[in-house]
Structure 1
Amino acid sequence: MNTVTKARYDGLADWYDDRFVVGAEPHQPGLLELLGQGSGPCLDIGCGTGRNFETIRASGREVIGTDFSADQLRLARGRTSGPLFVSDAAALPIADESFDTAMIMWIHTDVEDFDLVLREATRILRPGGVLVVYGVHPAFNGPHVIYNEDDSRTIHPTYRQGGWHEDSPAWGEDGIRRRVGMHHVPLAEYLNAFLATGLTLERFIEPERFGVPHALAVRATKPA
């Protein structure tokens, strides 16, 4: 899921799957609506252990998944008969204009260069193709955020400190960020990365699962 020599999620797949996938809501809020109905293969970039495969199939599409962690794909293979392969999201071994649909799910905080990942996803889309990006909200989730018991959040001035963070006082002792760190992308940089691709931005949603938005999702299309 990133460009380091060893995938950060290798060795964590079983823990991750038990905590975030098994028994979790299969259709993450708004994801199916953003995808819309379609056909043909959908490339799930950073597919992890396959949490999104059911949603892809529900949209009428076929699953093709890629992740930098072979350990994650080990479990993903139990959730699809479709092709899965290990790949850096910033250097996909896929020809230009090969897919009508692609997804980037929950990985902008795990990769070194989100701009490159978006450019790669744009490159492999055919004209008119759909890209859905779903991840933690850059403004309300990160090393600058303290989660409070009443579902409010305290935002610290460190919001503007983008880049890789190995530690934060906001992270719990047994959370994913304590284990793998986090690459923070401030909101303006996040949105400008989309504008640089030339994609047509069609819709943004802040899924209503928490009082303060936890996630930000985007649907975009490649101009014909």
Structure 2
Amino acid sequence: MTRPPRPAARYDGFAEWYDANIGPYAEAAGREMLELLGPGPGRCLDLGCGTGINLNRLTDADWSVTGVDLSADQLRLARQRAAQGIELIQADATDLPFQAGTFDAVACSLLHTDVEDFGAVCREAARVLRPGGRLAYVGVHPCFIGPFARNPPGEPPELHPGYRNTAWTTDGFSDGIRRRAGARHVPLAELLNAFLGAGLRLTKFVESGDEDFPVRIGIVATQ
């Protein structure tokens, strides 16, 4: 069967900038994601692997890792970073090139604001998980991070109208990654229902960050 054309990769063209500016935040999210996932062995899909920040961390935890990302530019850096034996594939997270039940685990971080339909991502993740397999996800906290929120350093967040606005936008952000790639805000209920709607069972829910308010949200779900 012929696959439809891939959607445009919004992260092409500034992979080095991403690593330099977003890398520390992505590293923190990756550490939390691995803590939620736990060690292998087994086959693990790093879904939306980006520049490969989590690839070797997963391998060190005894997982046999396959990384997938839509951006050829980000995969270019991931290939430079990846240890021997890690497979990297360019693919759309909503249309994965794997048979059902291929993986024992799916690891994913900082993805839900980067796609038009996170529910479709969760359905694909559920499809490629074996029965009993687990998914660990860490993303920005939808109640405190988004185009409606201003987060001055060292100060409490300022929340403005717009929490229910889920349109793709580059507005309301500082001159960073979202000005370049845009984002789609996903309210908390929609985020949780994406997992439930895929037939996954939520087993753990955490909030994290170094501030007095949570900046990241972590979810573990099982097939």
TM-score (structure 1 length as normaliser):
0.90
Contact 2:30–2:138, Cα closer than 8 Å, also in 1: no
Please state whether the residue corresponding to 1:39 is helix, strand or coil: coil
- The residue that corresponds to 2:51 in the other structure is 49
Task: Give the percent of matched residue pairs that are identical in Structure 1 and Structure 2.
Answer: 47
Q: Over aligned residue pairs, what C-alpha RMSD do you find? A: 1.9
Post-superposition offset of 1:29: 4.5
Post-superposition offset of 1:60: 1.3
Amino acid at match of 1:57: T
**2:161 pairs with one of 157, 168, 171:** 157
Please state whether the residue corresponding to 2:114 is helix, strand or coil: coil
Contact 1:27–1:52, Cα closer than 8 Å, also in 2: no
Determine the C-alpha separation between the residues in 1 that align with 2:189 and 2:162. 15
Post-superposition offset of 1:70: 0.4
Contact 1:50–1:75, Cα closer than 8 Å, also in 2: yes
Amino acid at match of 1:214: V
Please state whether the residue corresponding to 1:66 is helix, strand or coil: strand
Pairing 1:83–2:87 present: yes
**2:72 pairs with one of 63, 70, 84:** 70
Cα deviations by residue, 1:40-70 (Å, 9 ceiling, x for unpaired):
2210111000111132123211221010000
- The residue that corresponds to 1:121 in the other structure is 125
Determine the C-alpha separation between the residues in 2 that align with 1:163 and 1:133. 22
User: What number of residue pairs does the alignment pair up?
Assistant: 217
- The residue that corresponds to 2:20 in the other structure is 18
TM-score (structure 2 length as normaliser):
0.91
Post-superposition offset of 1:33: 1.9
- The residue that corresponds to 1:33 in the other structure is 35
- The residue that corresponds to 2:145 in the other structure is 141
Taking a change above 3 Å as real, the CA distance of residues 139 and 22 of structure 1, as seen in their structure-2 partners, is closer
Please state whether the residue corresponding to 2:219 is helix, strand or coil: strand
Please state whether the residue corresponding to 1:192 is helix, strand or coil: helix
Post-superposition offset of 1:166: 2.5
Structure 1: any 5+ residue segments left out of the alignment?
none
Determine the C-alpha separation between the residues in 2 that align with 1:29 and 1:63. 16
